[in-house]
Amino acid sequence: QQQVKQSPQSLIVQKGGISIINCAYENTAFDYFPWYQQFPGKGPALLIAIRPDVSEKKEGRFTISFNKSAKQFSLHIMDSQPGDSATYFCAASGWSGGGADGLTFGKGTHLIIQP
């Protein structure tokens, strides 16, 4: 059972455009939702994260939008640059009663920013 569904699988955006990646979760016990960026041969790097008590969080060109009732959250990359070309993962974790603090990841989105 895939608990975090991510779309699209791949995305091509023109330089300067807005990149949008969406995720949906099933487990209502999740209460922490980070986004990670991964370049080939590197470990995932934490980009931005949100908790369910806010609907939006912005850090520089990166914004997370969160819809608790729909159990969905998304990453927006404004003014996308070629250096943003990478694989992006959404994730979720929370106190499920079993002490499961490990992150549950989406399958990833391969983002290409065309110059």
- Contacting positions for another protein (CB under 8 A): 31-32, 34, 36, 42-46, 49, 89, 91, 93-95, 98-108
Smallest distance from another protein to CB 12, Å: 21
| Residue with Cβ nearer another protein (83 or 99) | 99
| Residue with Cβ nearer another protein (43 or 115) | 43
Cα 107 to Cα 79: distance, rounded to the nearest angstrom: 24
Smallest distance from another protein to CB 108, Å: 7
Q: Which residues contact 99 (CB under 8 A, 6 or more apart)?
A: none
